[in-house]
């Protein structure tokens, strides 16, 4: 019975070949950070307010010019095509139906144009800088023309994190499946049959839509997360020349970086440790969140991701001062288990849990979740 | 050998079909709060005072106009009829014999009148507000006429908590037993035979004693804990019109709510998280207790429940400043294991442990348990 | 290989029938306090001082008018005769040979006189007050006449702790062995054969040496630890009438009690929770120690027991300010495993570990162990 | 697949007879300190700085007059010849190739001269004081003549730590293998065959190169770590007479000792607890480090060892203020698994992880790792 996100994780583990499940599930190095994200969220507690009229609870928020049905967005995840062909479209459509923003990854396997045609919801573009500025400029231009409404620059990928599970599984670019992996594929026919007659997923957005050219080296670089290591604060001005819409930085953990971002005119921050997939020695995002909020919460919206598995987790982050939460792995589990309906169910589970939590906290609007709910005694 | 409450829990697990045991044992969502209640109590320690004459230890307290043999009351628990027919009567009689208040739940399966006829002890009524004010007004009127001496309004049930064990077990209203559940019933004949020739337990107090009518929808609503979500502080005035005896609020965790309650003329508070069955993100009650006590302990008595499994646990809460403790699950374990004698034994175990703890702490009266016993070093 | 005290514990568990091992090993209620004693000692750490000449390390201390070879005394333990006939003599002789004080329990199975005849070391008498003052007065008079050099009044036994293992095992007074217990005796012939032709151990000190009379009820009371519950501070004056030597109180945890003791002219304190065998809600002794030391360390020596299993543990207590440590269970494990040699080996293990620890801490005298060694960072 | 140091440890456990693996792996007494070193490192977290140009990351440092390719040195480890004949040479050559200092132990099995002939890298000599000053003076003179560039005096060995695994395994001097050990040797032929036709490893540096004499008693003393217990601060002056190069003390944990060392003209400190092999009650080195740094970081370089298993661990120590890290066990695991290439791979793994961590932290030079990266919230 798929009652909660852990149920979905277990079900996804059964549905997917191990190499694919591990690609989603794993983290960098010893995976301490993956564990910290989950464990530290469990330590936060909230004190409810009773005897308030909660006849109607409204989880909607208004952020960056759009109304969201709930303070949740789909985190950008790359290489979704490994789960099933056209996975990015499925995610975008499910997000659309749930009133949830969809953030298309630079490393998606479906081009921006196709997403724009097939899903009408709130669409953002996540940007990796790699292979020279021209690619980024093209991506931004396409996103602008297709009404992608915000740009998310991921800033915690100067080099690729060392995901040992992927190395052990041969899950590198180019992909080198072992005999064991091929057998594992065979043992998951429901996954494998979807790929019948189809090639492996490609990084569709690296193709220049004008010229139709595709750079194989670029794809390998993106797959191995070999980004532009020289990307620095100064380069934001260049980005701004090409993008005048909302610009968010994803991967900020240090309060000084948060202040700098505000100084540079950034419109929003996503406190993130890349789900523990990049740098293992960093704190959980829920632990880093207060520092960032203290620094910039009055200036710009701060979002957060990393280890959110319950609606109650979301309420915790909101009470601390975050404006919304991004969820990555849970949506992919939903996708693996039941496609579009699975993603919708995952988002619905989050929303139901959040709505129930809000009612029991005595909050009818997301904005009511504030520091008054924080259990100070535990500090 | 049934030496302590954990023994009773294990024995009850053997006696009851799993669906019934889980209904008692489970909590909301991930059951973090259930664990917190137990674990946090374990962390509190007390420093004993030696060389005091403890020839006679008196555990009795005087609260809300009655003398209790010990600072323990039976927590209101709904749907007790699932354990055996007439369970509420058994609990009330055992409480009576032990000098312990019995708090009848709105969701009891025996009407107020029958309890009043069969048990002469301290009787309180726990009130859920649902299905319109008329039902509550009738319940209060009946309680008043039957000398129920205090009213406990549960305030942490704006919506029902999500108890995943119950959903997995089909333990919802209406009850949908699976084949596995039916088999499980068959494997627990001592439980099942008690129900021979009897219908399933009904919410006896929803029947209007004047008209004898019974609303099936109301019963389903109560079973699924669909309460009046609009119940708010303002509505206390309405309650007061119908009830001029002691009024307690059960489910207060936030100091601001505690202060508001005093302002509204409430007579007592029960710091409770509904045994972890409603909102999973809240702190343990023993952790929330000091905040509430700091706010209102000088004004009104504060009681507490949640995870109390030893007489020593009770001593901890009393030393902190609570006036009494409510116990729920343990009484039901006693009931499941040995009926009325079982409940008495459970209460006796608590009392013996508390009495022994008091003697070894050097306290002969409950009032002597004070902050002087708290182990400050651990703070 | 018996390298450390845990080895001895495991060996003793194999040597003894379970009912006997559990009698030694168990604690009150949930045995939380037993665990706390061990765990909290493990959390204390010391910062060594290097490059000091430690050619000769001297573990001896001078306390209450005697020189001890090391800051360790044998804790008074009752009913030692369960381990083997004449166990008290074996313990006293081993202590004598190791230059360690032996504290004879009121509940010993060998009379004071016999101990005095067979062991020439430092002898103290531990006193329980029960069955009227006359018994205590006789015991004190005998101790004085036999050159017992200090009196230890145990103050944490107003009532007997509830040791659930003993109840489950039938290890109560009078002893009620189950069939399983009798079988267990048969499976431990090396233990059982020692009792061939001998009766069960008696509380030898309850016999009036003048009249030879023995009170069966008294023995049952002592076995069940039914002490004089009215024993209070005021009664110390009566004790002082009969005993003008060093008087120590064992079982003090509260700083206020420690101050009172100094005010009453007590000569020394033993911070103790009775090895977790009396009151389960109290802190570990190592956690309670600083409070007591802050209150009275300048006035009188403070000793401590509870969970000491390594020479390094002893060094921790001494660095905090304790003057010596009492060890109970470890000596009994040594006794069970190898009689007098076993007890000596246990004490030798403590001494070797302490001596090595002192050398590696850079301390050549016990007095050098001070707060300078405490790892403040951990506070 | 040997991706990280834990992989190497597991592989080494398979390669080596248990007595040898345990000799490397074990610690003193209960091995609490061994665990603390690892666990406490895991609790430290760092906040990364994003959007900095990290095109080139340089892990090199300049310390004590030499440039190191990374802030890592091979810790001095004694009796390496147990792993394979000539182990010290293998370690020295691997260190040389990796630009990492090699610290030859007094208890090495290859003489200083042979190391100097076969490895051209940065060479330090670790010094134990034992068997009279003449031996130390000879060692220092030889080291000076052979261009060993720094002297490391180990100060935490006043007596040998009690390594219970070694005692259980018969791993004492003289070596007393049990039948089980001999069988174990036979089951590890790849290890055993290397010793064919060779005698057991000798403490090669105890031989007087002038006289060729060898003292058997001295070897036993060194093997059992029976050092000069009278070595004290005053004796540093004598050392200085014979050595005017950089002098470091290894084993300092107390801030007062650190200050004294600076006062005595010591050139550097290594915060160390001997890998938990000497005194079990001391804190982890990462916990003791801040105290020492506060005391002397402005005066002299402070290095640290103990439990470093990841490049990220190294970054943590550097951010706190340490100048470099020593690694002992990991290098031996590499040696056991694959000889010289294994040691190089181990060092390469550390360097790659450190380099990646620095890039993701936004630091291009080791000097940039500072307190600004420390996650204050966690304090």
pLDDT digits (tens, 9 = 90+) for A146-192: 999 999 999 999 999 999 999 999 887 777 778 888 899 999 999 99
Query: Which chain C residues touch D30 with a CB distance below 8 Å?
Result: 4, 6, 310
Cα-Cα-Cα-Cα dihedral of D235, D240, D246, D251, to 10°? -10
- Given a cut of 70, whether residue B94 has pLDDT beyond it is yes
Structure tokens at B51: 């060389």
CB spacing of D164 vs C55 below 8 angstroms: no
- A51 vs B283: CB contact, 8 Å cut-off? no
Chain A residues with CB inside 8 Å of D3's CB?
162, 164, 167-168
Pick from A10, A35, A85, A104: nearest CA to A333: A10
Contact between chains at D356 and A161 (C-beta distance less than 8 A): yes
DSSP at A200: -
Q: Which residue has the higher pLDDT, C239 or C130?
A: C239
Burial B208-232 (b: 16+ CB within 10 A, else e): eeeeeeeeeebbebbbebbbbbebb
| Residue of C363, C276, C275, C277 whose CA lies nearest to C315 | C363
Which chains contact D through at least 3 pairs of Cβ atoms less than 8 Å apart? Answer: A, C
Q: Which residues of C touch B54 (CB under 8 A)?
A: 158-159, 229-230
Q: Where are the alpha helices (DSSP H) in B187-306?
A: 189-192, 216-223, 236-242, 255-263, 285-296
- B177 among annotated binding-site residues: no
Question: What whole-number percentage of chain B has pLDDT above 90?
Answer: 85
Nearest-CA distance D205 → chain A (Å) = 40
Residue C373 φ/ψ, nearest 5 degrees: -85, -15
Q: What is the mean pLDDT of residues A227-239?
A: 93
CB A259 within 8 A of CB A295: yes
Chains with 3 or more CB pairs under 8 A to chain B: A, C
Tell me the CB-side half-sphere exposure of residue C210, using CA atoms within 13 A: 6
pLDDT for D206: 80
pLDDT 10s digits, B286-316: 999 999 999 999 999 999 999 999 999 999 9
Q: Kindly indicate the confidence band of residue B140, based on its pLDDT and cuts at 50, 70 and 90.
A: very high
Average pLDDT over residues A283-287: 98
Give the separation between CA C151 and CA C142, rounded to whole angstroms.
12
**What are the two backbone dihedrals, phi and then psi, of residue C94, each rounded to the nearest 5 degrees?**
-65, -45
* Euclidean distance between CA atoms C18 and B329, whole angstroms: 33
Instruction: Say how far residue A124 (Cα) sits from the centre of its chain.
Output: 11
Distance in angstroms (rounded) separating the CA atoms of residues A302 and A39: 22
Q: Which two tokens stand for residue D28?
A: 């003193």
Judged by a CB distance cut-off of 8 A, whether residue B237 touches chain A is: no
- D40 touches C: beta carbon within 8 Å: no
Nearest by CB to residue D47, choosing from A29, A230, A282, is A282
Reported as a single tens digit per residue, the pLDDT across A98-126 is 999 999 999 999 999 999 999 999 999 99
Model confidence at A214: pLDDT above 70: no
Contact C66, C122 (CB under 8 A): yes
Residue D252 contacts C, CB cutoff 8 Å:
yes
Is the Cβ pair D51, A233 closer than 8 Å? yes
Restricting to A residues 54-113, those with a Cβ less than 8 Å away from any Cβ of B are: 54-55
Kindly determine whether residue D49 and residue A256, on different chains, have CB atoms separated by under 8 Å: yes
Tokens coding D94? 């691997």
In this prediction, residue C33 carries a pLDDT of: 98
CA–CA dist D226, D161 (Å, integer): 10
pLDDT, one tens digit per residue, over B165-212 is 999 999 877 777 788 888 999 999 999 999 988 888 888 888 766 665
Option in C164, C251, C281 nearest B312 (CB) = C281
Mutate to test the interface with B, among C158, C255, C257 (most CBs of B within 10 A): C158
Gap between the Cα atoms of C220 and C200, Å rounded? 13
pLDDT for position B221: 81
Q: Would the annotation count B97 as a binding residue?
A: no
Name chain C contacts of D40, Cβ cutoff 8 Å: none
B306 is in an annotated binding site: yes
Beta strands in C155-196 (DSSP E): none
Q: Which helix (H) or strand (E) holds A40?
A: helix A32-43
Contact C287 B378 (CB under 8 A): yes
Interface touch B232/A52, C-beta < 8 Å: yes
Is residue D254 part of the annotated active site? The answer reads no
Integer Cα distance of C106 and C83 in angstroms: 17
Query: What does the CA dihedral B234, B238, B240, B241 come to, rounded to 10 degrees?
Result: 150
Contact: D281, C46; criterion CB under 8 Å: yes
**Block residue for tokens 């100097």:** D116
pLDDT at A379 over 70: no
Answer whether B70's CB lies under 8 Å from B99's CB.
yes
pLDDT above 70 as % of chain A: 97
What total of structural domains would you count in chain D? 1
Q: Residues of D forming the annotated binding site for glyoxylate?
A: 128, 163, 274, 277
Q: Tell me whether the omega of the peptide bond preceding residue D174 falls within 30 degrees of 0, making it cis.
A: yes
Closest chain B C-alpha to A47 CA, distance in angstroms? 5
Whole-angstrom distance, CA of residue D100 vs CA of residue D103: 10
Residue where the block lists tokens 């396997």: A109
CATH number, position A324: 3.20.20.70
Residue A44 touches partner D, C-beta closer than 8 Å: no
pLDDT of B33-92, one tens digit each? 999 999 999 999 999 999 999 999 999 999 999 999 999 999 999 999 999 999 999 999
Per the listing, tokens 């027919």 go with B85
Among A158, A280, A287, beta carbon nearest to D359: A158
Which single residue is written with the structure tokens 């493990």? C42
Judged by CB atoms closer than 8 Å, whether chains meet at A375 and B287 is answered as yes
pLDDT value at position C378? 40
Compute the nearest-CA separation of B280 from chain C (Å). 26
Residue C8, pLDDT score: 98
The answer to whether the CB of C275 falls within 8 A of the CB of B74 is no
Q: Interface pTM (ipTM) of the complex?
A: 0.95
CA C215/CA A206 separation, integer angstroms: 97
Count of Cβ atoms closer than 10 Å to residue A174 Cβ? 10
Identify which of D37, D32, D21 has the alpha carbon closest to the alpha carbon of residue D275. D37
Contact yes or no for A4 and B155 at CB 8 A: no
For chain B, how long is the longest CA-to-CA vector?
Answer: 63
Query: A173-187, C39-53, C148-162, D263-277: lowest mean pLDDT where?
Result: A173-187
Q: Residue A282: which of D48, D359, D376 has the nearest Cβ?
A: D48
Partner B contacted by C161 (CB < 8 A): yes
Q: How many CB atoms lie within 10 A of CB A190?
A: 11
Supply φ then ψ for residue C125, to 5 degrees: -115, 130
Q: Which residue in chain A is spatially nearest to B257 when comparing CA positions?
A: A49
Question: Which residue range(s) make up the domain with D97?
Answer: 5-378
Closest CA to B293 of A152, A377, D74: A377
pLDDT score, position A209? 61
The nearest CA of chain B is from the CA of A276 a distance in Å of 22
- CA distance to partner chain A, nearest, from residue D346 (Å): 15
Is pLDDT at C225 greater than 90 in this prediction?
no
- Stated as kind and residue range, the H or E segment containing C110 is none
What does the pLDDT look like over A297-310, one tens digit per residue? 999 999 999 999 99
CA distance D365 to C33: 51
pLDDT, block means (10 residues), chain D with 379 residues: 97 96 97 98 98 97 97 97 96 97 96 95 95 90 97 96 94 80 91 88 78 71 84 95 97 98 98 98 98 98 98 98 98 98 98 98 98 75
Q: What angle do CA B295, B297, B300 make, to 5 degrees?
A: 115
* Nearest C-alpha in D relative to A230: D53
Residue A258 at interface with chain D, using a CB cutoff of 8 Å: no
Cα end-to-end distance, chain B, whole Å: 36
The structure tokens listed for A12 are 């996804």
């Amino acid at each position: 019975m798929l009652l909660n996100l852990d149920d979905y994780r277990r079900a996804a583990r059964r549905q997917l070949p191990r190499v694919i499940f591990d690609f989603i599930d794993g983290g960098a190095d010893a995976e301490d950070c993956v564990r910290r994200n989950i464990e530290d969220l469990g330590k936060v507690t909230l004190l409810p307010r009773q005897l308030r009229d909660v006849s109607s609870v409204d989880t909607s928020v208004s952020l960056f010019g759009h109304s969201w049905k709930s303070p949740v967005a789909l985190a950008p995840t790359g290489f979704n095509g490994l789960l099933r062909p056209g996975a990015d479209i499925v995610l975008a459509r499910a997000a659309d139906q749930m009133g949830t923003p969809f953030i298309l990854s630079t490393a998606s396997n479906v081009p921006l144009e196709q997403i724009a045609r097939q899903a009408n919801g709130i669409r953002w573009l996540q940007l990796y800088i790699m292979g020279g500025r021209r690619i980024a400029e093209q991506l931004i231009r396409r996103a602008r023309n297709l009404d992608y409404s915000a740009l998310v620059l991921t800033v915690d990928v100067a080099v690729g994190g060392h995901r040992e599970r992927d190395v052990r599984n041969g899950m590198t670019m180019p992909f080198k499946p072992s005999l064991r992996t091929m057998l594992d594929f065979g043992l998951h026919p429901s996954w494998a049959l979807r790929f019948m007659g189809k090639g492996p997923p490609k990084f569709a957005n690296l193709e220049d839509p004008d010229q139709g050219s595709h750079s194989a080296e670029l794809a390998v670089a993106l797959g191995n997360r070999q980004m532009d290591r020289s990307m620095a604060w100064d380069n934001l001005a260049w980005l701004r020349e090409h993008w005048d819409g909302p610009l968010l930085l994803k991967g900020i953990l240090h309060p000084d970086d948060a202040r700098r971002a505000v100084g540079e005119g950034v419109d929003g921050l996503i406190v993130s440790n890349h789900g523990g997939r990049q740098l293992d020695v960093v704190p959980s995002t829920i632990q880093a969140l207060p520092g960032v909020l203290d620094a910039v919460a009055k200036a710009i919206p701060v979002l957060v991701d990393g280890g959110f598995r319950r609606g109650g987790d979301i309420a915790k982050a909101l009470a601390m001062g975050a404006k919304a939460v991004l969820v990555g792995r849970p949506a992919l589990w939903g996708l693996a288990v039941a496609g579009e309906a699975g993603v919708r169910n995952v988002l619905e589970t989050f929303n139901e849990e959040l709505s129930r939590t809000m009612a029991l906290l005595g909050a009818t609007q997301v904005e009511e979740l504030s520091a008054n709910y924080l259990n100070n005694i535990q500090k």
